[in-house]
Amino acid sequence: MNTLRLLGFVIALMSLNAHALAQEYSGDAGGGMDAKGNPCNTLPMDDWRTAQQQAIEDYEAGHYANAVANFRLAAKLGDAQSAEILALMYRLGDRQYGSQVVAMPGQVTYWVAKAAEARFKVSVVQASTQQ
């Protein structure tokens, strides 16, 4: 499967599962738990979901520069999938998106690391709530 088809598949999957992903990452619609099991709202789920949804709409409309900006916002708010897509868009860069997205190898590495960090935080919170 080529990279573009994979990216399209990931974006379609994200748009279908946005609500389920928010609950997975936050514990519920109102927020998650910290490492000690206390309720918290450190990750504004509605904010990253809004940014992610806008990024998906921008991507599907061919507005790739706007999609990058919105995936970046969602990733900065802690969404691992947005960080992964952002890394992939930076990897493909102008070969795929013309002048709207410039290929930046350093950004690829940065956003892959941020995605791994976000997934690790989720797994720590999930593990702490299961004890």
User: Residue 66 contacts by C-beta under 8 Å, 6 or more apart in sequence?
Assistant: 54, 55, 58
pLDDT digits (tens, 9 = 90+) for 84-111: 999 999 999 999 999 999 999 999 999 9
The per-residue pLDDT for 18 is 45
The pair of structure tokens assigned to 23 is: 């609950």
pLDDT digits (tens, 9 = 90+) for 40-50: 444 445 688 99
- Tell me if the pTM is above 0.85: no
User: Which residues are bridge partners to 33 per DSSP?
Assistant: 39
Q: How confident is the model at residue 119 (pLDDT cuts 50, 70, 90)?
A: confident
Which uninterrupted H or E stretch holds 71? Answer: helix 64-76
